[in-house]
Every structure is written in structure tokens, then in C-alpha cells.
Structure 1
Amino acid sequence: MGLSAGFLFSLRRGLLSLAVLLCFSLLFFASIMAAYDELTAYEVLQSYDSPVGLLPKGVSGYDLDNSTGKFSVYLDETCTFSLENSYELKYKSTIKGYIAKDKLSELEGISVKVWLFWVNIVEVTRSSDELDFSVGIASADFPVENFDESPECGCGFDCDNLQLQRIKTGPFVSSS
């Protein structure tokens, strides 16, 4: 009877230790998952080897299904700006698509003005140091480094010059 009582005590003690270890492991795993959930949309882009400048500043939130790559990104409002004085871009308040390493596909909510028409950008693919933007029937390549920073709604990447120009001309002063 002394052996079985000692055996049961050791068994209970071992199970208790195992239960405590399991609880600590679950808490640790939950904290790691919570930290992953706290990534910004820009950090998620970087984790898929895409530059942050594919999204404008001001993202208010996002949803991501890690198993499929399906995502939605939310802006407070529609965002329009020009790049290099030649491309006008428009981001709707919700942008959707699928993300994978070096690729955004089935995009909805991003368009570029080509002559007089707005055309949807449906895919962005990274190949080495180039980004290929596809509108379905045509595409254009740009250096990745052009997208190291996020553009701002209204002024794109040239916000400092726009603000300087406003200061120089003022609201009631002629620039001529």
C-alpha cells in the first residue's frame, strides 16, 4: 500500500508539472500570436517582400487571412494623388486582394488615370529590384526603391514642395 500511494503521489505531481508547463506554453504561444496581430499593414507588406509605398499613409486598419492571403486594407476616405507629375492614382477607402511573397493579385480599389480614363490596377509583382504594375492588358515596370516610402493623399511624394509653393504664393498673392 505504501508503494501505490507513493506512486500515485509522484504521478499527480508529474501531471501537475505537465499541466503548468502546458499553460505557460499556451500563454507564450498566445503572446507571440498577439504580437503578430499587432503588425501594421505596412509591416505585413514588408513581411511578404513588398515595399511599404504600395499603400498611402493613413491606413486605419486591415484584415488578413494568413491561410489564403486574402486581405482588405482600410483608409478613412478615398485617396487621390499624382506621382512624378504624370500618373494620377486613386485608392478607394477599401482595398482588397490577395498577398503572397513578391505579389499582390486580384486587386480591387486601386486605379490609375490613363489619358482620360481610370483603369484598375489588378496586380503588382516584384521581380528582383523592379515592380510590375498590371492593368490587365498592359503593364509598366518601376524600380522598387521608388516605393520605399508611402505617398500622402493629396500630394503623393512631393508634399514638401507643395507646402513650400503654398507658402511662397500664399492664398492671395499672385505667383507671376
Structure 2
Amino acid sequence: MGIILTERSKLLLKILCIFFFIAQSLGSDEEINPLFTKRSAYEVLGDYNFPMGILPKGVLDYDLESSSGKFSAFFSGSCSFSLEGSYQLKYKSAIKGYISEGKISKLEGVSVKLFFVWVDIVEVLRRGDSLEFSVGIAGADFPIDNFEECPQCGCGLNCNNEQVRGIRTNPFISSF
């Protein structure tokens, strides 16, 4: 025995199908499709051929205009750490720039300490199996393998529980 639909039910069903089709074709935004789960900033980096390790752990949220590539990523506060004991990096609580396939340009909010001076990293380029970081007048290349793991604020890639506990219980930082 089949289900018998009235003309009014058929019309309503057609309208719902059209609405669903239009909502899906507009894109996968949370506002348009409440069933859509926003991907992490680390997953989105992969879409542009970047490893997730160029961002430290702790990205709370991000914005991305897919048409222009304009992005912002947000942390709970500023983040600093050392890599291999030689490079010190700082991320502000919000970083922004423009991302496209293999290129991050007009980057703001990320700096590296060179000798005794902090300079802004303004561009990151993927060139085969390496990443080139530019501070404007100079740049440096690093193997992409160095960025498979996300560094952690305070201790970089050489973290253990003792270091993390020491950061949280720093006697010079009072918590209220």
C-alpha cells in the first residue's frame, strides 16, 4: 500500500526540495547549513598545500573569505616559543593575511627574533619540499618536514609535562 499525497503536500515537498538545493549550492557555511561542522584551521591549511605545523597549537577560531583568500586566526592570547634553540617566534592573539595555493602574503601578527631584533614575517611560500619565510628584505628556507607537528606556546616542539607545568605556575605571573 502506497502513501497518497494531496496536491498541496506535493507542492510543499517540491518547495522544500528546491530550498534545500539552493541552500546547498550557495556553499557550506554554518549560517546556511546548520548541519555543517566547521573544519579546523589546521585542516584548511592543507587545502592550500601548507603543513599544519606553521600554526602553533591553540587556534580557537578563524575566518576565511574563500573568494579573496583573506583570513584571520585567533588564539586565547599571544604565543611565543623557541624552535631548535635558535629561532624565537611570537604570534599575536590574532593573525591575518591572504592565503592562496602555496602562498601566504601580507601576513600580520607573526614575528621572529633575528639577533636582538624582532622582525615581522610577511610572507610564506611553498616551494616543493621547502617553505620560504620572508621578512621583507630577507628570507630563509626550511624543509617542509620541520612543520609536520604543531609547536606549543611556551615550549615549542620540545615540550614535556614539567616544562608545561612550569609555564603555568610561573611565580612572576599572578592569577586572580
The TM tier, using the shorter chain, reads 0.7 to 0.9
Q: 1:24 aligns with which of 5, 20, 26?
A: 20
Which position in structure 1 is the counterpart of 2:38? 38
Write the letter of the residue equivalent to 1:26.
I
For 1:109 and 1:42, how far apart are their aligned partners in 2? 17
* In structure 1, C-alpha distance between the alignment counterparts of 2:24 and 2:118, rounded to whole Å: 48
* TM-score under structure 2 length normalisation: 0.78
Q: Secondary structure at the match of 2:60?
A: strand
What SS class does the counterpart of residue 44 from structure 1 fall into? Answer: helix
Would you say the 8 A contact 1:51–1:148 is kept in 2?
yes
What's 1:91 paired with? 91
Higher helix share: 1
Cα distance between partner residues in 2 of 1:123 and 1:36: 31
- Tell me, which stretches of 5 or more residues in structure 2 are unaligned? 1-5, 167-176
Distance change >3 Å, CA 119–CA 37, structure 1 → 2:
farther
Q: Is the Cα–Cα contact under 8 Å of residues 124 and 134 in structure 2 kept in the other structure?
A: yes
Amino acid at match of 2:118: W
In structure 2, the partner of 1:6 is none
Identity across aligned pairs (percent)?
52
Aligned twin of 1:63:
63
Name stretches of at least 5 consecutive residues in structure 1 with no aligned partner.
1-8, 167-176
d(CA) in 2 for partners of 1:143, 1:115 = 22
1:135 aligns with 2:152: no
The structural deviation recorded for 1:123 is: 0.3
Alignment of 1:76 with 2:76, yes or no, is yes
Kindly report the root-mean-square deviation, in angstroms, between the aligned alpha carbons of the 2 structures: 2.7
Aligned residue number for residue 115 of structure 1: 115
Question: For the residues of structure 1 that align with 2:74 and 2:105, how far apart are their CA atoms?
Answer: 17
Provide the TM-score with structure 1 as the length reference.
Answer: 0.78
Whichever of the two has the greater Rg, that structure is 1
